[in-house]
Structure 1
Amino acid sequence: MTGTVELGVEDQAPQPVPLNAVFATDFVQILVPVTTADTMREVAAAVAHHAEGKRVRAQPYEKVVFHHGRRLPPEMTVAEAGIQPLEHVRVEYDVPEGAQ
């Protein structure tokens, strides 16, 4: 007797998710390939890679991802955040108050 097993999100192989993204004060929106298993920390690094030190001055602060105006925790995955292909994310520096 064969049965079917329903796989949860965490049991599935990572799927590609291309994202439209803007980094900090950059004027260029970019298309960044990530996967459903990538964390927001990895997404932030992938987005920053294309602009930080090129069009945006590098700063010594952590980077955070915003999706639909919501700040996402660094350990949350793309799948957990519910981010769909070609949706827009914004990555900003997490500048402490009074530091600039």
Structure 2
Amino acid sequence: MTESATTERDLQDQPPQLVPLNAIFATDFVQILVPVTTANTIREVAAAVAHHVEGKRVRALAYEKVVFHRGRRLPPELTVAEAGIVPHDHVRVEYDLPKGAK
């Protein structure tokens, strides 16, 4: 068995762990601490971050939200564990705006 297959199985066998994240949403000026778990999907992370900001300090828009971690855009179906996000990492959540939209 390869090392990566072992690692994937090990991640699936573990109960979800708390992962507090430092996050910023779109054009917000406040960084927030958001609790998620290793089992949450990236789509769920985006929703958790937006929940604290969207419609409060940042105008809500009817677009999907995307998460960036260490400069890369994360696929929404990945889990926090699969994405390699660890406690106190920084994530940025943005609207997935079509080209030319503001």
TM-score when scaled to structure 2?
0.90
Partner of 2:20: 18
In the TM superposition, residue 98 of structure 1 has moved relative to its aligned partner by: 2.4
Runs of 4+ in 1 over 2 A off after TM superposition: none
TM-score when scaled to structure 1?
0.91
Higher radius of gyration, 1 or 2 = 1
**Unpaired runs of at least 5, structure 1:** 1-5
Partner of 1:92: 94
Q: Over aligned residues, Cα RMSD in angstroms?
A: 1.3
In the TM superposition, residue 99 of structure 1 has moved relative to its aligned partner by: 2.7
Q: Higher helix proportion, which one?
A: 2
Percent identity over paired residues: 78
One-letter code aligned to 1:81: A
> d(CA) in 2 for partners of 1:76 and 1:27?
27
1:54 and 2:49 correspond? no
Q: Number of aligned residue pairs: give it.
A: 95
